[in-house]
Each structure stands twice: as structure tokens, then as C-alpha cells.
A = this chain, B = another copy of it.
Amino acid sequence: MKKLINNPEEVVSEMLEGFVLAHPKQVKLVPNTSVIVRADSPIQGKVGLVSGGGSGHEPSHGGFVGTGMLDGAVAGEVFTSPTPDQVYEAIKAVDGGKGVLLIIKNYTGDVLNFEMAAELAEADGIKVAKVVVNDDVAVENSTYTTGRRGIAGTVFVHKIAGALAETGASLEEVEAVANKVIQNVRSMGMALTPCTIPAAGKPGFSIGDNEMEIGMGIHGEPGIERGEIKTADEVTSVLLKKVLDDLQPTQDEKVAVMINGLGATPLMELYILNKKVSDLLKERNIDVYETFVGEYMTSLEMAGCSITLLKLDNHLTELLDAKANTVAFKR
């Protein structure tokens, strides 16, 4: 394991300290928790937005705390959902009287822990709503199982719900627009190399020197196909096809695109992928409104990528365009 760390058991707390030390004007740590909130939290008269999950996906979610996006982010252990007490602290720290929306990625652990926290907060009289993001089309949707995973598309939920909350909208309105994003966002990823949870000390899985895995989850959950490594164009075609088949945008619709790096993939490669994404969407007469390329939802030092499409109507477009000022997302 080659990592710039001190103690594998302390990576999350040291990271959080280093984070608030780097950005004291924007964020603060709720004392004795693993909760990052805006420096000016709680904001009275604004719906509070809280997200979070296991650590190791940086800049998610602490990097998206700030004006126009999240109010709070809860960091669990690496790849492990945060506990209810921590989520509960986040809810209390950001509640400005208008209620709090929890943005949860669809993993059993996240759902259970956030639900229990919501119950605790509701018992305190705080209004809480929850949305569950399930953008990953790699794993089939089925009503009998857990459903799809939540991955990079979550960042669009933060952005758009955050923009609406900033206007003073009600909890119901913010929840509704978050659900609208969730209904219109789809992603799929792939990995070239594994990653190592610091406390585990060795990679969670292995991928042959000549292999890649299509559909790999952001915690290293097995994907849908292990095969020989393909070209950037071929990988893009496979991922984008699955996303498009599921999302089914029509010719006159416009989309936002996110090409997300999982941690070790150079920007150079992400832009090479984007060339093909752009070509393929042009072929289908789908209008790309805006493209985001970079690291938004990572998996430690995994090499690989995910591609996300979000269908936009005028309302979503306006909210996507709105000002945001967070550590990892500014406009």
C-alpha cells in the first residue's frame, strides 16, 4: 500500500482537519464529529441540504459544501456509511427552521443510517425529507432488490437542489426538484485498477494487467463485465450506450454531461473520452448544454471513469447555471 498517510485508522479525521484548515472561510467542522458545514451555518430561512457517505470519494461530499450547493456533508469511515449520530449532528447543525433535505446515495448502509438519523431529528421537531440517488445503470433496476447504486450523478442533485434552496424555496419544493434530477440523471463507470482501503492495507480486488471492469462500483463492488482492456472510444461507446438506452433522451432534448475520473485517471484521458462522447451525442442530435470534466466522485486511487448524462428542461438549466461557490465546484 503506497499512500501519503500517517495512521490508517486516522485518515478521515486528519483529512477533515486538513480540509477545514485549508478553507476556513468556506467551511467548518462541527466539533467532535465528522461533519463539515458551511462556515455560516445554520442559515435561517433556508432549507438545509445534507449529504454524505463513506469517505474515499473526495471531493464528495465536503467539497460541495457552500453557497448554492450543500449545507453539510457527513463523512463515514472509508467506503463505510456514516453512523446515524453523525448524520443527526449534521441535520441539527444546518437546520435554519425550514427543514432539512437528506441526499442519500442508494446503498443499504447509507439509507439505513440516514433514515435512523432522520427519525432522531424528527423526534426533535426538525422537518426532514429524504431523496435517494440511483443513477448507476450498470446494475439492473429491479423492484425485488435494492435497486440501482448512486454515483457521480449525485453531484448534479447537490447543484440543482442547492440552487433552488438558495432562493428560499420550501422543503417540499427542494425535495421535488431533487427527485426531478434523480429521475433525469444516469451514469455508468468502469475501472482499470483497484484501490486500497487504508485500514485494509491491500487492494479490495485485482484486475489483470490487460483487463478492465465495466460497471465497477465506486466502492470497488464488482461490475458487469470483466474483459480485455479496450480503447477509449470503445469504452465510451459501451458506457454511453447503456446510459442512453436507459435515459432515452429525444432528439430535441438537451443534456449536461459529466466525465468523472475515479482518482488516478489523468485529465488527459478524461478529455479523450469526452471527444468521443461529444461525437456520439452529435450523431444522435442530442444537444450538449454543458460538459463537466474532472474528479467529482472518486474511489480513492482507482483508475477509471464514469460518464453521466442529465436531461435538462428550462427550470433545471436555470438552476444548473445558478451561482455556486464551494471548494470543488464554483461558477
Contacting residues, chain B, for A225 (C-beta < 8 A): none
A35 within 8 A of B: no
Which chain A residues in 14-39 approach chain B with CB under 8 Å? 14-19, 21-23
Are A5 and B271 within 8 A (Cβ)?
Answer: no
Contacting residues, chain B, for A201 (C-beta < 8 A): none
Stretch at the interface among A64-72, A168-176, A178-186, A229-237: A229-237
A275 within 8 A of B: yes
Contacting residues, chain B, for A319 (C-beta < 8 A): none
A204 within 8 A of B: no
Contact with B along A218-242 (1 / 0, CB 8 A): 0000000000010111010000000
Are A267 and B59 within 8 A (Cβ)?
Answer: yes
Q: What CA separation (Å) do A229 and B6 show in the bound complex?
A: 11
Contacting residues, chain B, for A14 (C-beta < 8 A): 232, 271-272, 275
Are B229 and A2 within 8 A (Cβ)?
Answer: yes
A278 within 8 A of B: yes
Are A271 and B6 within 8 A (Cβ)?
Answer: no
Stretch at the interface among A101-109, A138-146, A300-308: A300-308
Are B11 and A268 within 8 A (Cβ)?
Answer: yes
Stretch at the interface among A85-93, A117-125, A291-299: A291-299
A273 within 8 A of B: yes
Are B264 and A303 within 8 A (Cβ)?
Answer: yes
Of B3, B235, B267, B330, which is within 8 A of A298 by CB? Answer: B267
Contact with B along A315-331 (1 / 0, CB 8 A): 00000000000000011
Are B272 and A192 within 8 A (Cβ)?
Answer: no
Q: How far is the CB of A18 from chain B (nearest CB, A)?
A: 4
A81 within 8 A of B: no
Which chain A residues in 194-211 approach chain B with CB under 8 Å? 209
Q: What CA separation (Å) do A57 and B11 show in the bound complex?
A: 27
Are B58 and A267 within 8 A (Cβ)?
Answer: yes
Q: What CA separation (Å) do A303 and B196 show in the bound complex?
A: 14
For residue A212, which residue of chain B has the nearest CB?
A: B2
A56 within 8 A of B: yes
Are A21 and B274 within 8 A (Cβ)?
Answer: yes
Q: What CA separation (Å) do A260 and B307 show in the bound complex?
A: 25
Of B5, B266, B278, B292, which is within 8 A of A269 by CB? Answer: B5
Are B231 and A5 within 8 A (Cβ)?
Answer: yes
Q: What CA separation (Å) do A296 and B33 show in the bound complex?
A: 30
Are B193 and A2 within 8 A (Cβ)?
Answer: yes
Of B17, B22, B303, which is within 8 A of A301 by CB? Answer: B303
Of B232, B275, B301, which is within 8 A of A264 by CB? Answer: B301
